[in-house]
Amino acid sequence: MEMQRRTLGRSGLEVSVLGLGCMGMSWSYGPPKDRGEMIALLRAAVESGVTFFDTAEAYGPLENEALVGEALAPFRGQVVIATKFGWAPNPGDTNRWTALNSRPAHIREVVDGMLTRLRVEVIDLLYQHRVDPDVPIEDVAGTVKGLIAAGKVKHFGLSEAGVATIRRAHAVQPVTALQSEYSLWYRAPERDVLPVLEELGIGFVPFSPLGKGFLTGAVTAETRFGTDDFRSTIPRFAPENVQGNQALVDLLTRFAVAHQATPAQVALAWLLAKQPWIVPIPGTTKLHRLDENLGAVRVALSAADLRELEEASDRIEIRGARYPELHERLTGR
């Protein structure tokens, strides 16, 4: 299958029009999945034309980078792997990384481990996972600039950063991509972030483009999440809020029927139609969901479709916060 490609902003970094988020293979969505099955899934994604894979040091921690590195080793030079720094374990808390750390010495130290786990000689795209209020963003950008000069990193990215931080970082080292949550369920980036990205020539990589599975229609008010599933802590996934938010899935389902598609495909097609420099990274651990997601590139939404979809979604009151308060405080800084 010949996959369409997109360039992230004015950086020249070309990737498949849809990437693959790898976090759930190792972390956050229930217990880690079977390693052999996940390697097969990652390689199937490459065979289907996906060239953009997203991981992070914190996923596992460390385990997801090693998984992605092993799976994609045969395709070195054919794929783009993005990873993220910015966390460190609290003393005695090696499984749940809760301490931010973007100090320059720490960044330089962890990158060497990333290169080993990913089995690469250079990291294609290195994001700061969350903005660290204790470290000036100029110091972070300058450190990555040095890593680029040293040949260890190709491109610099930010995740969930606010507009002022994006501008300050970009002035030191051009930012190739911003990765933040964006979907029909969470449209806040449209207000301030997207205009700045367009102005500066920065690509946008929406994570959770399917609302952590909600926009697929697979989650109902009866769905219960285990304590090892991050969604068990998210207000939007409380049963009463899921029931209230079902109207958005119903809207997507109506469009899906009209376009002979699925709700997930319509949700992804909407994002793809927003800007040519937007590259969503839906995550999955199932081959049939991978195939479904990739089918979104064949769903053509007209300008009238987009307008109708957005006007209808604007009338739906979204219930529940997208994050617990502790996590939300780490975003938009």
Measured distance between the N- and C-terminal CA atoms of the chain, rounded to whole angstroms: 40
Share of residues in the chain with pLDDT > 70 (%): 97
User: What pLDDT does 2 receive?
Assistant: 75
pLDDT beyond 60 at 233:
yes
Q: Identity (one letter) of the amino acid at 325?
A: E
pLDDT beyond 60 at 123:
yes
List strand residue ranges (DSSP E) for 58-168, in order. 80-85, 87-88, 99-100, 123-128, 153-159
**Mean of pLDDT over the chain:** 95
pLDDT beyond 60 at 1:
no
Strand partners, 21: 54, 283
Helix (H) and strand (E) counts for the chain? Answer: 11, 11
How far, in Å, CA of 301 to CA of 307, rounded? 10
Using a 10 angstrom Cβ sphere, with 0-12 exposed, 13-18 middle and 19 or more buried, the burial of residue 104 is: middle
Using pLDDT thresholds of 50, 70 and 90, give the confidence band for residue 150.
very high
List the structure tokens of 261. 């598609």
How far, in Å, CA of 259 to CA of 262, rounded? 8
User: What pLDDT does 175 receive?
Assistant: 98
How far, in Å, CA of 67 to CA of 55, rounded? 10
Q: At what angle do helices 193-200 and 163-172 cross, to 10 degrees?
A: 20
Using pLDDT thresholds of 50, 70 and 90, give the confidence band for residue 274.
very high
**What's this model's pTM, rounded to 2 decimal places?**
0.97
* C-beta neighbour count of 265 within 10 angstroms: 24
Using pLDDT thresholds of 50, 70 and 90, give the confidence band for residue 53.
very high
Using pLDDT thresholds of 50, 70 and 90, give the confidence band for residue 93.
low
How far, in Å, CA of 6 to CA of 2, rounded? 13
Q: Is 59 a catalytic residue?
A: yes
Looking at residues 243-261, what average pLDDT do you find?
Answer: 97
Q: What are the Cα distances from residue 33, in Å, to 212, 288, 322?
A: 17, 16, 25
Using pLDDT thresholds of 50, 70 and 90, give the confidence band for residue 99.
confident
Say yes or no: domain 5-328 is CATH 3.40.190.10: no
Q: What is the pLDDT of residues 183-201, one digit of tens each?
A: 999 999 999 999 999 999 9
Q: Which of 29, 59, 127, 186 is catalytic?
A: 59
User: What pLDDT does 326 receive?
Assistant: 85
Tokens 């839906």 correspond to 282
* C-beta neighbour count of 95 within 10 angstroms: 8
List the structure tokens of 122. 């250079």
